[in-house]
Amino acid sequence: MIYRLYRGLTTLGGPLIAAYLERRKARGKEDGTRFPERLGHPGTARPAGPLVWMHGASVGEALSMLPLVERLLGRGLSVLMTTGTVTSARLLAERLPRGAVHQYVPVDRIAYVRAFLNHWRPDLALWAESEFWPNLLAETRHRGIPQVLIQGRMSPRSFAAWKKVPGFIHKMLSGFALCLAQTESDAGRLRALGGRDVRCLGNLKYAVAPLPCDPVALDGIKASIAGRPLWLAASTHPGEEALAGRVHAALGMADLLTVIVPRHHTRGAEVAAELRGQGLSVALRSAGEAITPQTAIYIADTMGELGLFYRLGGPVFVGKSLTIGGGQNPFEPALLGAAVLFGPLMDNFPDMAPSMLSAQAALRVKDEGELAMTVRALLADQQALRAAGQAAKVWAEGEAGVLDQVDGALAPFLAPLEAAHARP
């Protein structure tokens, strides 16, 4: 009943949907150059042979799928990756392996969905995490295309909401022939909502390659720092940049450099103004401002450069874990051997965060004051700083086997595609 209502509203509401998309485009939230892709019109030709379609909502979901993309390409299969955000498209232009194709996912309206599926004709669909578009899932299922949920996630809040419309979520989840959950908790909630063949094999975020880095840029940053003590606040959200500024002041170290990488790089100027309001000397990377001996705060408001700053050797505080709940990915700095710190609000990583803590691969700080104390202690004891980074790296490298397990679970779906590819 609810699905029929949704289908009807998205069909009859075409003019309203079009107006909404135009407003998003005017605000830079849609890609004007590639906007037809959001309407189901392809931006390129379909590759020949069997095609695996992989969908991730945004940056995090898409990046977690990259190791699997490489595996599929290595099997001789073609890969189409779809995402919905401008930021993810820009990042995938740099990170997507050669041979894979990126497109924007069509808006969930029947006409757009059918145009998309008519052109791409995928042989297998792999959906990441928890973005369920009813029309896209239903139309894919009606065409007999096998669907698998990868990195399945179902938070307690989403679970409570979906329980109010059990028929609706059951209809969507039942379209997945296999559901691979991130955690056992996610698996239990997916089963309760109607997921079929739900398993927990681990988190593909453990299988990602180390974040890339431009060695020339790294040498340049290190030269400008000239041995100064530094710490990094990574993937920060509103409130955490001001907090980092207060921590910098509380540490009272004349030569200290605090590096801040906002989660959304477009906030760079806003963050700079906020910190200058605290009386701090700020340099903004996007504006080409250099790090000088007088620079207290360096705001790295550029895309795709976290790997560079994780390699600078200082303690790394992972954002969205003190002032806003959820947490950002602590695996990436750990894999690069950084000493990892995060706050108590790591709800998005219910298994990863406790695993890191139990392996002494991360340190948890309860508040701003404890963050300042921990950073001070690590900067004062270089041996402890190196040991914390080494423990993080050892833990991260020990978790990398999840990709083989996921690959094995997908084997029954991939074997027919490989057989088709092998035919003359």
What does the DSSP assignment read for 177-228? SEEEESSHHHHHHHHHTT-SSEEE---GGGGPPPPP--HHHHHHHHHHHTT-
Token code pair at residue 176: 């997945």
Task: Please tell me whether residue 240 adopts helix, strand or coil conformation.
Answer: helix
Tokens of 81: 């990756």
What's at 7, amino acid-wise?
A: R
> Rounded to whole angstroms, what are the CA distances from 79 to 44, 144, 396?
13, 18, 27
* Listed residue (396, 300, 299) closest to 340, CA to CA: 396
Annotated active-site residue in 22, 30, 37, 61? 61
CB 53 within 8 A of CB 147: no
C-alpha to C-alpha distance for 336 and 323, rounded to whole angstroms: 25
Side chain identity, residue 164: K
- Side chain identity at 138, as an amino acid letter? A
The residues near 302 (Cβ < 8 Å, ≥ 6 apart) are 265, 285, 286
DSSP code for 287: G
Distance of CA 375 to the CA centre of its chain: 26
For residue 408, count CB atoms less than 10 angstroms from its CB and return exposed for 0-12, middle for 13-18, buried for 19 or more.
exposed
| Number of residues assigned to the chain | 424
> Of 72, 86, 66, 100, whose CA–CA distance to 211 is shortest?
66
Nearest CA-CA partner of 372 in 247, 268, 278: 247
Whether residue 61 lies in the annotated active site: yes
**Catalytically annotated residues:** 61
